[in-house]
Structure 1
Amino acid sequence: MTDDPLRSLSADTIRAFIADGFIRIDHAFPRELADEARALLWRDTGCDPDDPSTWTRPVIRLGHYGQPPFRAAANTPALHRAFDQLVGPGRWLPQGALGTFPVRFPSPDEPGDAGWHIDVSFGTEQPDFMEWRANVESRGRALLMLFLFSDVGEKDAPTRIRVGSHRDIARQLAPAGEAGLTLRELAADGFAGSAGRPEALATGEAGTVYLCHPFLVHSAQPHRGTRPRFMAQPPLLPAEPLSLQRTDGAYSPVEMAIRDAIT
């Protein structure tokens, strides 16, 4: 974790990423950008931020956003330095937009999407998303990222994280080679391989970003707080494929975590 946007990630933070599968960066982007972006998101929900009677669904999913406040939030110097340190300089692509926003509202109802999973990254031409795939070299995804655009406390539907679960998924994917496994195959046992892992919650103030290993097992949960939660969950796209067999030994922390798990 770091709360200084001008400081690079420490060696201890990088070791924590390799071991735990995620780090939290406080003040990764300014609260003012979060406020600007949230105003656009509120408009698209069709709900009134001052009238809870209009918050009739537990979750509303909004599409990709590339307006200036979103692009600026995703491309701060602090984040770019972290990407260089976790993925490698020149090995990632700048964010042109942020991914989908599952806006979660206080509700007694179950949201219907609160199962454990990883975010698979290729084969997305298949109409059935359960047929989308991941492989041991994380084709198509360098990081999973959680951008908090509102303050998120423990009751505000923070994403649940199984600490260290990226190691379990790496071992599950390794025998499948380049073809990898579908989400259906990965989920066949309900992600039981990581069920004993401790859990963490992706809480924090608006402007907090969680940078996660692409194999990290995580889950949504119901919102039992008082104010809606606004969060984006984009991938960091690779500029070149990850590699687990580098002749120069210049492995990134993302690659090191996989190698440590399977060797």
Structure 2
Amino acid sequence: MGSEPRCALDAAAITSFINDGFVRIDRAFPKNLAEEARTILWRDTGCDPHTPSSWTRPVVRLGHYGQPPFRAAANGPLLHAAFDQLVGPGRWLPPGALGTFPVRFPSSADPGDDGWHIDVSFGDDNPDFMEWRANIVSRGRALLMLFLFSDVGPDDAPTRIRVGSHIDIARQLAPAGEAGLTLRELAADGFAGSAHRPEVSAVGEAGTVYLCHPFLVHAAQRHRGTEPRFLAQPPLLPREPIRIDRSDGGYSPVEQAIRIAIGGIGAG
């Protein structure tokens, strides 16, 4: 086996990704990189890490970061191997940056951004965010990724995930074809179509990464802990389009999940 490409995920993890819509990778990047990154992020929050009275907002949104600790965190061999397994070798682009960072602070205030949603992936030239779109082949996004740059426990505003909800979204998107649906259309019922799904929280130590199907329904929540939460939620960009009609049957787990959702499980 030593001469074969490295595998980050075993068969059970890949099956779990197809069925549940995500997989958790512990120690995906070293804690020292998380510490270096937090130093940069703290500076940009305008808050003092040692003065909780300066933490006056429930969430501070920071942009994209391409400095060395961020690039190194996103491009380790373990993650690259996982990208190959979930998206397909040669079908994704190495991340050049990480972002955005919604830094969440302990607060009793409503953060105002904790509704259920998916991360739409194209049409972002429209100034109205709710008009951005997603389609059945997830144009512009191969994975949703959650990078934990601080330790995140149950009270530290972990991202909420509806297990298996990517199946519901694929079925909702399928009739719309290439054009897809806007976020406004997808959210018209408050994502009630996945409300029956069990919910889990994206907890873990700094250095943990959740690799998620691009259709996974997720949500933020209020921070009830004591230490700010640092998390990046970048897309993995595709090098080539996701396909659900490959002539050679070489479907990736991302594609397999879509095909199962819409009933195309006969080939491949």
How does the TM-score come out when normalised to structure 2? 0.96
Query: Which ranges of 4 or more aligned residues in structure 1 deviate by more than 3 Å?
Result: none
User: Could you tell me how far apart the structure 1 residues matched to 2:219 and 2:31 are?
Assistant: 25
Corresponding residue SS for 1:130: helix
Q: Among the aligned pairs, what percent are the same residue?
A: 79
SS across alignment from 1:179: coil
Alignment of 1:68-217 (within 5 A): 68-217=68-217
Separation (CA, whole Å) in 1 of partners of 2:44 and 2:195? 36
CA apart distance, 1:89: 0.2
Q: CA separation in 2, counterparts of 1:17 and 1:191?
A: 21
Asked if structure 1 preserves the Cα contact closer than 8 Å seen for 2:63 and 2:100, the reply is yes
Q: Deviations over 1:66-109 (max 9, x none)?
A: 00000000000000000000000000000000011000000010
Output the CA distance in 2 between the equivalents of 1:130 and 1:182: 7
**Quick one: which amino acid aligns to residue 74 of structure 1?**
A
**2:81 counterpart SS class:** helix
* CA displacement, residues 150-196 of structure 1 (integer Å, 9 cap, x when unaligned): 00000000000000000000000000000000000000000000001
| AA of the residue aligned to 2:128 | D
Secondary structure at the counterpart of residue 24 of structure 2: strand
Cα deviation for residue 7 of structure 1 reads 5.2
The secondary structure found in structure 1 opposite 2:61 is strand
Q: CA RMSD in A?
A: 0.6
Q: What does residue 24 of structure 1 align with?
A: 24
Aligned to 2:247: 247
Structure 2 distance, partners of 1:215, 1:55, is 33
Output the CA distance in 1 between the equivalents of 2:94 and 2:124: 21
SS for the counterpart of 1:161 is strand
Distance in 2, matches of 1:244 and 1:99, equals: 28
Question: Quick one: distance in 1 between partners of 2:142 and 2:7?
Answer: 22
8 A Cα contact 2:122 2:133, kept in partner: yes
Please, which runs of 5 or more residues in structure 2 have no aligned partner?
1-5, 264-268
Tell me the SS of whatever aligns to 2:257.
helix
Q: How high is the TM-score relative to the length of structure 1?
A: 0.97
Partner of 2:218: 218
Equivalent residues of 2:119, 2:215 under 8 A apart? yes
Q: How many residue pairs were aligned?
A: 258
- What SS does the aligned partner of 2:177 have? helix
Separation in 2, partners of 1:239, 1:137 = 13
Q: Contact 2:8–2:79 (CA<8 Å) still a contact in 1?
A: no
- Indicate the residue corresponding to 1:3 in structure 2: none
Query: How far apart are residue 8 of structure 1 and its match?
Result: 2.3
Partner Cα distance (2:139, 2:47) in 1: 38
- The runs of 5 or more residues in structure 1 that have no matched partner are 1-5
